[in-house]
Amino acid sequence: MKKISFVFLEEISLHQLQKLVVFLLTQFLDRETTNAYSETHTHTMGKGGGGEDAVMLPLFETKEARFRGAYKVFAFTVFVGICLIWVYRLTHIPRAGEQGRWAWIGMFMAELCFGLYWILTQSCRFKVVYNHPFKERLSNRCKDKLPSVDIFVCTADPKMEPPTMVINTVLSVMSYNYPPEKLSVYLSDDGGSDLTFYALIEASNFSKHWIPFCKKFNVEPRFPGAYFSQQIDVHDIKYAQEWLAIKKLYKQMENRIDSAIEMGEIPKEIRDQHKGFSEWNSKVTKQDHQSIVKIMIDGRDENAVDIYGGRLPTLVYMAREKRPQWSHNFKAGAMNALIRVSSKISNAPFILNLDCDMYANDADIIRETLCFFMDEKKGHEISFVQFPQNYDNITKNDIYACSISVANNVELVGIGGYGAALYCGTGCLHRRESLYGKVYSKDYGGELNVEFKTNADKAVNELEEVSKFLANCNYEKDTQWGKKMGVIYGCPVEDVVTGLAIQCRGWKSLYYNPNRKAFLGVAPTTLDVVLVQQKRWSEGMFQIFFSKYCPFTYGHGKIKLGAQMGYCMYLLWAPISFPTLYYVIVPPLCLFHGISLFPQVESIWFWPFAYVFVARNACSIAEALSCGDTLKAWWNGQRIWLIRRTTSYFFGFIDTISRQLGLSETTFAITTKVVIEDVLKRYEEEVIEFGSSTIMVTIIAVLALLHIFSLIGGIKKIFLDLEFIKLDQLILHVILSLLLVMINIPVYQALFIRNDEGRIPSSVLLKSVVLVSLACLIPIV
């Protein structure tokens, strides 16, 4: 590096000095970081900035994924193959009167749908970018000027979502490495349960021990249940002693809560110790109760301290009013009540919302995420930062494909690359102003260090009474709440609609997937829960497509076309069930009857089918392995993909159409977080839990039997019957049916071999055999 005299430095201008700093940085920093720095430098100088604040390193950088150009070339070749398949279908349609004509036309329609849907999925893959924050720079720059953050935790039913799990999540976020006086935690209890309220009282007391312990030893994760299940380092005697003492306190608290839940009521001596229990009487029910707001810990109070005298964050319990005659709008209504109530108590400029089963796994994640909002160049444009949904109970080979690794690491990342990350309803840090319906403008500066606490001088009782009014049923009447303010109403996946509406007001959103998972939840452990959850999601997504919020119309000219396509990739889950059902029913039946729907091996038209099949599956395997999945996990994912499309998505479509015709109303199904011991054992052994005779399980069984019947029948026609049918005429049919049989092996085991409680009931087997026998008698036209 060139030597520069200090005398010369005194004579050069400020502008020259700034150029020199950029040059010096190129000697020490990597090229990408320096480029980002130069952009910020140019931006601030363009505004006429000067002095030491004019040149600031960016608080985050964005890097494009490698090999994007090569992938585009690959995708183009696949697209050409798909087009050739369409051409083959159109140019080889059987003549009128020939057997299989209508089956052939149906194949063309199914393959047309698959091709168009594949095009939608490519939009996000062309824009994969990775965001990386510089937490150290934020700490050096802001020091004690960090903004306040409100954290919302939502629960709805103490039976489906155990209070012990709920308070573990609350404790994990109370323990963040963040100034406690700038942290406020709100628990929304839509069940209005005194059991949940009691659990929060216990958590508020335990937090006085737990928070200082976490910060003293820098423990991770800060979810007590998960932390105490780990092995400890016995070499540190002091740590081991405190670990045992804290674990004892936790177990005692857990036992008291579980005992109260088992009895179904709070003991009188406990009720007498806290005046908050006076809100509950014999008339209070889950769907009929008044607003309840209780400030458990007042973070403004300097006497609200832990056992070592350290300040504690604010902790608030809220149960919004519910009456039978008022629509409560499910989780969206709870979120909007939380936004209003928190505005009177803490009114932080940022809001982190979590589901009650999604605990904090990284104590520094708030500081990291604020880098995106507080960046001088781009931070003011950002409305929210979405994190992936990860789970701590995923088996090695992900039996139910709940880890959605490719979606988390490729698809959602790609949509975020357009500045339009999907809001997924949990694990999201929002800018409060964007949730109020504010339209973004270039003049917006985002005054992050302004304190909005207008009620700092009010007593706790006064704040509670004022907040209750904001959580009343009739507060939203004749207002814009649920329309242009807060979370949007009218859809089971209100979070996705809300994110889209915010982006169409000019805001940008980012998707951030940190190296250490920010939040961990509880994945379903039974197939039934998985399918119910997927049905609700697909139904809600399809409702958005039918509503005024369809991205192609509502987002036209407001978000990029690639983002619109990325949204619709998920919104069209439900209708993609029909071509899938057609493809897994009609070709096997045609094989059974000896009717060919695919080109012969020696035909040139065989190669587009072969190339598209091999290329797409090879790419799918490569994506899965690069995202950390095993090969078996990828195979399990293909099975669940097929099951979801033929059951959950199908019924999601039916329910959406019924709702559009006014034949049904939207419902919200809470998935249980309670796990039975023998079910958990089978889950850990990666054995699929069927165990019911629902219509979805019946469809799974029918399709599995159809595939094996068709394969056996088709092979019999080829090798044993006297009819002149060559193997090469049906080879693609045989391959397709063989793959379907292989993917359904766990279904056959549940039908014929297993004798545990998770097997498929014999009544389902009987119905399935009858239905498949009837299907095989249907003539193919």
Matching residue, tokens 């961990």: 520
Residues 371/59, Cβ–Cβ less than 8 Å: yes
* CA pair distance 475, 467, nearest whole angstrom: 11
* CA pair distance 656, 658, nearest whole angstrom: 5
Residue 781, both tokens:
């036209």
β-sheet bridge partners, residue 292: 319
Residues 507/555, Cβ–Cβ less than 8 Å: no
Residues 41/55, Cβ–Cβ less than 8 Å: yes
Measuring CA to CA, how many Å separate 80 from each of 73, 75, 116, 617? 11, 9, 13, 16
Q: Which of 189, 190, 375, 655 is catalytic?
A: 190
Residue 471, both tokens:
């959580």
Measuring CA to CA, how many Å separate 511 from each of 406, 524, 776? 14, 24, 49
Tell me whether the omega of the peptide bond preceding residue 221 falls within 30 degrees of 0, making it cis.
Answer: yes
* Residue 528 is a catalytic residue: no
Pairing mode of beta strands 359-360, 428-431: unpaired
Residue 190, both tokens:
């839509």
Strand, helix or coil for residue 383: strand
Give residue 556's Cα distance to chain centre. Answer: 25
Q: What is the DSSP string of 166-218?
A: HHHHHHHHHT-SS-GGGEEEEEEETT--HHHHHHHHHHHHHHHHHHHHHHHHT
* CA pair distance 113, 659, nearest whole angstrom: 24
* CA pair distance 224, 349, nearest whole angstrom: 29
Q: Return the ∠ at Cα 641 (arms to 640 and 644), rounded to 5°.
A: 80
Residue 504, both tokens:
């169409």
Residues 163/257, Cβ–Cβ less than 8 Å: yes
**Residue 303 DSSP class:** T
Task: Name the residue among 717, 78, 767, 131 with its Cα closest to residue 417.
Answer: 131
Report the amino acid identity of residue 92: H
Matching residue, tokens 């090469």: 728
* CA pair distance 535, 519, nearest whole angstrom: 24
Residues 210/307, Cβ–Cβ less than 8 Å: no
Residue 468, both tokens:
């209750």
β-sheet bridge partners, residue 391: 521
From first CA to last CA, the distance across the chain in angstroms is 80
Strand, helix or coil for residue 185: strand
Pairing mode of beta strands 382-386, 428-431: antiparallel
Residues 520/403, Cβ–Cβ less than 8 Å: no
* CA pair distance 54, 4, nearest whole angstrom: 23
**Residue 379 DSSP class:** G
Helix 577-593 to helix 762-776 angle (10° resolution) is 70
β-sheet bridge partners, residue 322: 289
Q: Which of 150, 355, 375, 495 is catalytic?
A: 495
* CA pair distance 117, 19, nearest whole angstrom: 50
Residue 181, both tokens:
């006086």
* Residue 190 is a catalytic residue: yes
Pairing mode of beta strands 428-431, 350-355: antiparallel
Residue 752, both tokens:
């014929």
Q: Return the ∠ at Cα 711 (arms to 708 and 713), rounded to 5°.
A: 105
Task: Name the residue among 94, 91, 89 with its Cα closest to residue 107.
Answer: 89
Indicate which residues carry an active-site annotation: 190, 495
